[in-house]
Amino acid sequence: MQSKTENTENRENKEEKPSEILDKQSEETKEIDLNRPEFYINRELSLLAFHRRVLAQAKDSKMPLLERLRFLCIASTNLDEFFELRVAGLKQQVVAGAVQAGPDNLSPQEVLNRISTAAHEFVDEQYSLLNENVLNFLEDEGISFLKRDQWNKAQSKWVREYFENELSPILSPIGLDPAHPFPPILNKSLNFIVSLKGKDAFGRDSGRAVVQAPRALPRIIPLPQELSNHPYEFIFLSSILHAHVEDLFPGMKVTGCYQFRVTRNSDLFVDEEAVEDLLRALEGELPGRRYGDTVRLEVPDNCPDKMIDFLLKHFKLTKLDLYQVNGPVNLNRLLALPDLVDRPDLKYPSFTPSIPKNIKRNLFVSIREGDILLHHPFQSFTPVIDFVRQAASDPQVLAIKQTLYRTSADSVLVDALVEAARSNKEVTVVIELRARFDEEANIRLATRLQEAGAHVVYGVVGYKTHAKMIMVVRRESKKLQRYVHLGTGNYHDRTARIYTDYGLFSCNKDLGEDVHKMFMQLTSLGRSASLKKMLQSPFTLYNGLIKRIERTAETAREGKPAHIIAKMNALTETEIIRTLYRASMAGVKIDLIVRGICCLKPGIPGISETIHVRSIVGRFLEHTRCFYFLNGEKEEVYCGSADWMVRNLLKRVEECFPLEDKTIKSIVIEQGLKLYLEDNSQAWVLDNEGNYNRIVPEEGVEKVSAQQKLLQLLAEKTSG
């Protein structure tokens, strides 16, 4: 036994264990019912468990201190989105009277109740970690946050001047009375509820007011060096406002001032079949996102019950939706701190992504010599940018086609596409306007590209375009040659530095034809054409995966080596899970590397004994999707844009491409899959009761971190 596991989750599951259920069945007379709810993990609770694994990174004392703070903030941001989308959706189901349960047989209200319990524990753990651990260690390193009762005379004077010059001119305190009702509160904004005594200039005595903190101002303010007791000293914006809130109500006495923040439903609804212009319809919906139905209220733990009841009543929430915190209600705004502190020793060591040796200055020449694989962020994203830039300036290039799901606001790829369009090349860009939380940015990109003369398509009604593809058509020796880039991640140069993803360059004729056909499907109204090499959602990928799993099961029944390794972000699709269960029952060895949601239960006697599930949470966000099938001596490897979820397999346009070059295939198997199965430093193992346990290497056992090893193997230089 090389490692042990450490359980970090509460075991609250009181239902019968899968093994107990199987014991009650007669194997001789009954076929096992794979629809039993005991064989499935709830989707939302599994997602919340992933957020707990992210939070565990902040608890790890071996991590650089500012990175621990960063993970604490990321966990907070993740929880915000969880409430904005998942909790909001469940609440809508309850209001609509929905009782339909998923494969785990939990009703929407049952899931909400469990989420409330787990989320309250999660939030308490966050603030305990912040106050009792992270802030203390930061202070030991000369990075501190000054509380109001710690300000000396000079600091107090500076704070007053900051308030008068930077805050007061843009604040609009609103007294609550019939002429001044409760103002609209923006989603996740910082606000203060103020209790008052006395009458204002007009003799009004409402007793309450609301002050909204300007979103444009930072939430942590650096104190000038000459006034600081530490190398880095900060004051919370909320502390400055608390100290001088009475100045906003002359002649009245402030008897209490308390932060609060509300989280709202942030999902957009547009009936695509009922609108004529999707872009304009989304533009109309975007402002409403800021004022959707409330789903959560956060207040400080010293806020009086009377004030809490007032806020809950106004926002139509219950005590289950209330979160009382010991610290800033907008915890994720601390994410700015690492960028304000020049302490490389408290951050991850820097590194330089490498560029593969087989990439020459002219990418078209390089690709003609053989397929090229990039593994981000260990290898640079620059060749992808250069691919489009060279295509834009190359007189032999006639057309460029690309999908865009998410990209940066100042994307250099978009700059290159604009340049190509202005150079009279045929430029077609499929932009997914409904990429959640990027709708506004994508609308701006679409408008910019259209103004440059590019053909912009918004995808297919009812199906998000999530595929990651670029195709360049070049005239060579009196014939047209297609060059393609296929990826597992977005064309986003910033996330390419922190997400692990694969990208493949190829001029393979069949791959080129397949990509061409997929673009034709997206831009025209014609029927889908069959693909030669690739699998595609929503047409062939779902059945193609099931077919390959079943074929591997048949191989195992024949007594031949049969192995499946699949790496993805989420596994929720029920029929895929059932097919994996049947393959396990046939004897297939199945290793699943699932970063986030996993609804499958491994290790159930008689059902999933040969299935092992692990999640890797480390410095980089694991984002690669790659799938390995061993049938006897034959190895198949696919990479793609789709997770094994209903939405990806049946409700989106996704691409999944084979790796046929022997060297590239071997690299992905060894570095992208098997190395992650050896990880005993950043791996969490899922047990058959639905709990994740962190692997802890036993004494004397070599520690293996897949991400660190890939940095050593692929990055040009690692410092520190």
What CATH number has the domain bearing residue 206? Answer: 3.30.1840.10
Question: For 190-237, what is each residue's pLDDT tens digit?
Answer: 999 999 988 766 666 778 999 999 888 899 999 999 999 999 999 999
Q: How confident is the model over 239-266, as a mean pLDDT?
A: 93
Q: How confident is the model over 79-108, as a mean pLDDT?
A: 89
The reply to whether 54 falls in a domain is no
> Domain count of the chain?
3
The reply to whether 45 falls in a domain is no
Q: How confident is the model over 550-574, as a mean pLDDT?
A: 98
pLDDT at 716: 78
Q: What's the rounded Cα separation, in Å, for the pair 546 and 567?
A: 16
pLDDT at 461: 74
Query: 387 and 271, same structural domain?
Result: no
pLDDT at 121 exceeding the cut of 90: yes
Torsion of CA 52, 57, 59, 63, to 10 degrees: 180
pLDDT at 291: 56
Of 244, 375, 466, 623, which residue is the catalytic one?
466
Which of 503, 533, 563 is where one domain is finished? Answer: 533
Query: 651 and 610, same structural domain?
Result: yes
Sign of CA dihedral 291, 219, 52, 325: negative
Residue whose C-alpha is closest to residue 347's, from 141, 616, 63, 622: 63
Most confident of 284-293, 353-362, 523-532, 553-562: 553-562
Q: What's the rounded Cα separation, in Å, for the pair 579 and 543?
A: 11
The residue segments making up the domain with residue 419 are 351-533
The reply to whether 404 falls in a domain is yes
- Residue 396 phi, psi (nearest 5): -80, -15
Query: 694 and 663, same structural domain?
Result: yes
Question: Mapping DSSP to helix (H, G, I), strand (E, B) and coil, where does residue 522 land?
Answer: helix
Which of 514, 533, 552 is where one domain is finished? Answer: 533
User: What percentage of the chain carries pLDDT values higher than 90?
Assistant: 77
Residue 140 exposure: Cα atoms within 13 Å on the Cβ side: 9
User: What percentage of the chain carries pLDDT values higher than 70?
Assistant: 89
Query: 363 and 337, same structural domain?
Result: no
pLDDT at 273 exceeding the cut of 70: no
Predicted confidence band of residue 7 (pLDDT cuts 50, 70, 90): low
Query: 318 and 380, same structural domain?
Result: no
Residue 620: is it exposed, middle or buried by C-beta count within 10 angstroms (0-12/13-18/19+)?
buried
Predicted confidence band of residue 438 (pLDDT cuts 50, 70, 90): low
Q: What does DSSP assign to residue 640?
A: E
| Alpha-carbon distance values, 152 to 102, 225, 228, 229 (Å) | 58, 14, 10, 10
Predicted confidence band of residue 719 (pLDDT cuts 50, 70, 90): very low
pLDDT at 455: 92
pLDDT at 1: 40
Query: 414 and 329, same structural domain?
Result: no
pTM of this prediction? 0.91
Residue whose C-alpha is closest to residue 425's, from 385, 387, 447, 452: 452
Query: 401 and 306, same structural domain?
Result: no
Query: 265 and 316, same structural domain?
Result: yes
pLDDT at 6: 53
Mean confidence (pLDDT) of the chain: 89
What CATH number has the domain bearing residue 434? Answer: 3.30.870.10
Q: What's the rounded Cα separation, in Å, for the pair 45 and 597?
A: 8
pLDDT at 3: 54
Written as one string, the DSSP assignment of 324-366 is EESS-S-GGGGGGHHHH---GGGSPPPEE-B--TT--SSHHHH
Query: 472 and 340, same structural domain?
Result: no
Strand-strand pairing, 191-197 and 253-264: antiparallel
Written as one string, the DSSP assignment of 215-259 is TTS-SEEEPPGGG-SSSEEEEEHHHHHHHHGGGGSTTSEEEEEEE
The reply to whether 575 falls in a domain is yes
Query: 323 and 364, same structural domain?
Result: no
Among 24-33, 129-138, 368-377, 531-540, name the one with the lowest average pLDDT: 24-33
pLDDT at 277 exceeding the cut of 60: no
The reply to whether 626 falls in a domain is yes
Q: How confident is the model over 51-73, as a mean pLDDT?
A: 96
pLDDT at 160: 96
375 is catalytic: no
pLDDT at 203: 66
pLDDT at 271 exceeding the cut of 60: no
Q: What's the rounded Cα separation, in Å, for the pair 548 and 541?
A: 10
The reply to whether 78 falls in a domain is no
pLDDT at 407: 84
Q: How confident is the model over 228-254, as a mean pLDDT?
A: 93
pLDDT at 176: 85
Predicted confidence band of residue 270 (pLDDT cuts 50, 70, 90): very low
User: Is the distance from CB of 404 to CB of 430 less than 8 angstroms?
Assistant: yes
Which of 346, 371, 402 is where one domain is finished? Answer: 346
Q: How confident is the model over 161-184, as a mean pLDDT?
A: 87
Q: What does DSSP assign to residue 497?
A: G
- Which H or E element spans position 153? helix 153-162
The reply to whether 14 falls in a domain is no
Q: What's the rounded Cα separation, in Å, for the pair 134 and 72?
A: 9
The reply to whether 20 falls in a domain is no
| Alpha-carbon distance values, 71 to 49, 59, 323 (Å) | 15, 9, 20
pLDDT at 419: 94
Predicted confidence band of residue 22 (pLDDT cuts 50, 70, 90): very low
Strand partners, 209: 175, 194
pLDDT at 178: 64
Query: 126 and 145, same structural domain?
Result: yes
Token code pair at residue 483: 């060059």
pLDDT at 430 exceeding the cut of 80: yes
pLDDT at 412: 92
- Residue 136 phi, psi (nearest 5): -65, -45
Question: Mapping DSSP to helix (H, G, I), strand (E, B) and coil, where does residue 24 land?
Answer: helix
Token code pair at residue 458: 């918004």
Query: 511 and 552, same structural domain?
Result: no
Q: What's the rounded Cα separation, in Å, for the pair 564 and 635?
A: 10
